[in-house]
Structure 1
Amino acid sequence: MKNGKYPPALTVAKDPVYPIDSRVVIRANHVPGMEGAKAVVNAVYETTAYKVSYIPTTSSEEVKNYKWVIHEDIEGANSEAFDVGEEIILNVKYKNGMDRAKAKIESVVQTNVYMVSYIDSRNGEKVKNYKWLIESELLPLKEN
């Protein structure tokens, strides 16, 4: 999500690998211009992250293996994690057509999720508070 807002009622991670203000390198390609970009950690939370496939409310073309929707983004979520294969309703506006879309859980990861700000490697655009990356999608930035 570009220029996202901080989410309400999430549990702040107690001992994350990358604390707030850490400088990292993104090794994920959720959106063009992200992979290899230098970033700063804005927030880190403990939650369950889901890879989902969904049909946008604005189209009939399925989006497969979208990374990441967090537990708090799912309608009717309680304290129990959802299982692979479960059908859910998304309660997010990360992309046009996601809010209220029906989705299927493809994978489940209990992890820390990171909100980061970075510079798009294609066009130099500042992306603030991008949601979400998981620890395995980040590397420490080694500055000379």
Structure 2
Amino acid sequence: METTVNGEPRVLATDAALDLIGEIRRDHPDILFHQSGGCCDGSSPMCYPANEFMIGDSDVRLGEIGGVPVYISASQFEAWKHTQLIIDVVPGRGGMFSLDNGREKMPTSSSQSGTSSMPENQSPPSATAHSCLPPPAY
């Protein structure tokens, strides 16, 4: 599976997200993100110790942010394969089992179609915490 769409990375992170990743990695050096499919923790990207989360045969690796792999379920990937996932940070408590919990800030995700139109050093727009991802715009 390509980790790019139209030559652009499938997953990006804002500077705030990269800062949170660095903070988490100081406590847990080997981590991964899995884009949640909904339910209790909405559609937030969840952060887990890499050795404690079992990647399934139906999980798709989107790429890496800050040296950390990002996965999504195959069924979600099928719906979002033409979009770029953007990981950002908002104030709040993360998912119950996510390593960001208790830090009073949490990762959130939004998407944009295919390519990044952001100038260099400009953060992408953030999504609302615990909201479902909007349908892809084609």
- Please tell me the TM-score bracket, short chain as reference: under 0.3
Give the TM-score normalised by the residue count of structure 1. 0.26
Q: Per residue, is there more helix in 1 or in 2?
A: 2
Max Rg structure: 1
Q: Per residue, is there more strand in 1 or in 2?
A: 1
Give the TM-score normalised by the residue count of structure 2. 0.27
